[in-house]
Copies of this chain bind each other. A is one copy, B any other.
Amino acid sequence: MSDKASQARTAILKVLSELEGHPAGAARISERLASCGVTLQPRTVRFYLLQLDREGLTSFISRRKGRMITPAGREELGRANVLEKVGFVQAKVDTLSYRMSLNVESGDGELITNVALLKNQDISRAFAELKPVFERNLGMGDRLCIVPSSASFAGHTIPGGYTGIGTICSVTLNGVLLAAGIPITSRFGGLVEMRSNRPVRFTELIEYAGTTADPLEMYIRAGMTRVRECVKTGNGIIGASFREIPSLAMDQASLIFKKMEKLDLGGVLTIGRPGQPLLDVPVAEGRTGFVVMGGLNPIAAIMEAGIACTFGSLSGLEPYTRFARLAVIFRHYMNSLR
């Protein structure tokens, strides 16, 4: 058995093992594989599944349900060094995507957040920075959550003297689409050059499949964004993420985007045409690309203003109801000062 075949088999086992007992068919497996860098057509997956079945590593459940991994299969997976076979980076990214699997749905539920920590005394200044960013729709959605000291948020407790700002992470969108059965692939995180409030092109890109750290986080820390400038003049550089879905699912996706906007969760910057490159980024035949705002753009503005601030993306889950529109928060905050 060639090196390649063995990698394919291992990867298939791995996908099945992550499905937690749910059986899956070749099509689903193929999608999953694609999102972690292994491209195999469904037919090819079936080809390998047949082998694996015969070796007792997977078992055929039913014509409708597909296959499951067997205990022997799990054992085999343990023996095979997945990192070695499927690729180290992919593996790390996998855990990352795993974290983004939970999600909201049309009405409520929990969504994925980013958290930034600021010293209490910097909050007023931070607000002043945040407001125009949201007004210009450069963030993901239009809601955020202010967390006072010693309250807890997304599983963390805010330390004394600090205030937390929870923003909505753009992978929430992935969760929503996934829940609707649309297989979405995050391809790149990058910096988009804006001119007259419109995206022109990506000036930098990092493939999600080829990195262990969230690209947008890196760009912001590295001080490569120009969110404030974009707010002021309409020209600047903001964080964004390039994603792809099957062109067939585009109509359905558009509907979902609209629904999200109604929840103040809109964040789609621009949508490409089927199979056509978008902002110079090519997409595969049969797929459509679109660009989503970086959920951290508001935080980037704070950093750019020189306000000390620590932050992290994909921090955890919080119910939708905990987030409020900036205007509302602002009013509350003003009242609390009185």
Could you list which residues of chain A lie within 8 angstroms of chain B, going by C-beta atoms?
3, 81, 83-85, 87-89, 92, 188, 190, 203-207, 209-213, 218-219, 221-224, 277, 280-282, 284-285
Which one, B87, B203, B209, B219, contacts A282 given CB within 8 A?
B87
A222 partner residues in chain B, CB cutoff 8 A: 218, 221-222
Contact indicator B282/A88 (Cβ below 8 Å): yes
Q: Which residues of B contact A83 (CB under 8 A)?
A: 277, 280, 282
B206 touches A211 (CB 8 A): yes
List chain B residues, Cβ under 8 A from A85: 282
Known: A204-B212, A211-B211, A212-B205. A88 touches B3 (CB 8 A): no
19 more CB-based (< 8 A) A-B contacts, given A88-B281, A204-B212, A211-B211:
A3-B284, A81-B277, A85-B282, A87-B282, A88-B205, A89-B205, A190-B212, A203-B212, A204-B211, A204-B213, A206-B210, A206-B211, A206-B213, A207-B207, A210-B210, A210-B211, A218-B219, A221-B221, A221-B224
- 28 A-B residue pairs with CB within 8 Å: A3-B284, A3-B285, A81-B277, A81-B282, A83-B277, A83-B282, A84-B282, A87-B282, A88-B205, A88-B281, A88-B282, A89-B205, A203-B212, A204-B211, A204-B213, A205-B211, A205-B212, A206-B210, A206-B213, A207-B207, A207-B211, A210-B210, A210-B211, A218-B219, A218-B222, A221-B221, A221-B223, A221-B224
- Of listed A190, A218, A282, residue having the most chain B CB within 10 A: A218
- Interface centre among A81, A211, A281, A284, by most chain B C-beta atoms within 10 angstroms, is A211
Chain A interface secondary structure, helix, strand, loop or mixed? mixed
Interchain CA distance A209-B87 in the complex, whole Å? 14
Q: Smallest CB–CB gap between A200 and chain B, Å?
A: 15
- A281 and B213 CA atoms in complex are apart in Å by 16
A87 → chain B closest CB, angstroms? 7
Are B209 and A277 within 8 A (Cβ)? no
The CA-CA distance from A221 to B203 in the complex, in Å, is 17
Q: How far is the CA of A280 from the CA of B204 in the complex (A)?
A: 28
Q: How distant is A78 from chain B, measured CB to nearest CB, in Å?
A: 17
